Structure 1
Amino acid sequence: MKTKTLIELVTLSSSLYVLSRDTHLLDKFNDWSEKRKEGLNKIASDSATDEEGNELELMDKILNKADQVKEELESKIEELVSKVYKKINIAHLDEIKALNEKFEQADAAIALLEARVNKLETKS
């Protein structure tokens, strides 16, 4: 009898936990939907006109806002990419070519020095 009661209590508590978690999730969804609804209402209530002075329809306002968001996103992505390139020090093709030229010059200088050392060794 005690085991049955204990199992029922555990089952009840787990069910209550799942229900409370679900209600918490639903509350978050409600908060998010309220915020999005306020944003859409703001877009709809703002007056925007086209080149001819006619007020834009809701869909046109949404499309304009989407274009603005797209431009902002592209600029932020561009900034982040440039920061990443600077942080990981990715070399450009011009820099690689310049380094290869310096490497070839250094090889030539080393070859000359080796020739001089060999010449001095043969004299002694």
Structure 2
Amino acid sequence: MKTKTILELLTLTSSVYVLARDTNFLDKISAFTEKGKDEINKIASDSQIDENGNELDLADKIILKTNELKEELHDKIEELVVKLYKKINVAHLDEIKALNEKIDKLDANVALLEAKQNKMKA
């Protein structure tokens, strides 16, 4: 049991050492922290009113902002997926449906042309 604990402590210590050594990483974390604090303070200071005319609590404001960020993230992910599909040339489901509709229209046109040709022969 002691050997396991020592190994865990050594692993944790080496991980902390690597993170502490990387000052760029720490600077990024502190920048994100400050940005997060500023955003939370902004959300808390803004007054928002619900559909009943009551002012929202801080928790409700945070939930509302979280939902907005979730939608933004969903949109960004969708854009990135579309770009990836185009980059690796994978057909998207909408493109496949559009191509199938074009094929159906072309088949109908071919059938009409064949009917006209058969009528001319007769």
Q: TM-score, normalised by structure 1?
A: 0.51
Instruction: Give 1:32 shift.
Output: 3.7
The DSSP-based 3-state class of the residue aligned with 1:70 is helix
In the TM superposition, what whole-angstrom CA distance separates every residue of 1:20-73 from its partner, at most 9, and x where no partner exists? x67x57x73544433221111000001111100100000000000000000000
The DSSP-based 3-state class of the residue aligned with 1:41 is helix
Unaligned runs of 5+ in 1: 1-17, 99-124
State which drifts further: 78-87 or 62-71. Answer: 78-87
Which residue does the alignment assign to 2:33? 33
Which protein has the larger Cα radius of gyration, Structure 1 or Structure 2?
1
Which residue does the alignment assign to 1:117? none
Which residue does the alignment assign to 2:86? 86
Q: Over the residues paired in the alignment, what is the CA RMSD in angstroms? A: 3.2
What is the alpha-carbon distance in structure 2 between the residues aligned to residue 32 and residue 84 of structure 1?
28
Which residue does the alignment assign to 1:74? 74
Could you list the structure 1 runs, at least 4 aligned residues long, displaced by more than 4 angstroms after superposition: 92-96
Q: Which amino acid aligns with 1:86?
A: K
Unaligned runs of 5+ in 2: 1-16, 104-122
- Counting aligned pairs with the same residue, the percent is 50
Greater RCO, 1 or 2 (C-alpha within 8 Å, sep 6+)? 1
Residues 31 and 54 (structure 1), Cα distance of their counterparts in 2 relative to 1, 3 Å cut: same
Which residue does the alignment assign to 2:58? 58
Which residue does the alignment assign to 1:11? none
Q: TM-score, normalised by structure 2?
A: 0.51
Residues 81 and 32 (structure 1), Cα distance of their counterparts in 2 relative to 1, 3 Å cut: closer
Q: Which amino acid aligns with 2:82?
A: S
Q: Which amino acid aligns with 1:72?
A: E
What is the aligned length?
A: 81
In the TM superposition, what whole-angstrom CA distance separates every residue of 1:60-95 from its partner, at most 9, and x where no partner exists? 000000000000000111111111111111135666
The DSSP-based 3-state class of the residue aligned with 2:51 is coil
Residues 88 and 31 (structure 1), Cα distance of their counterparts in 2 relative to 1, 3 Å cut: closer
What is the alpha-carbon distance in structure 2 between the residues aligned to residue 73 and residue 89 of structure 1?
24
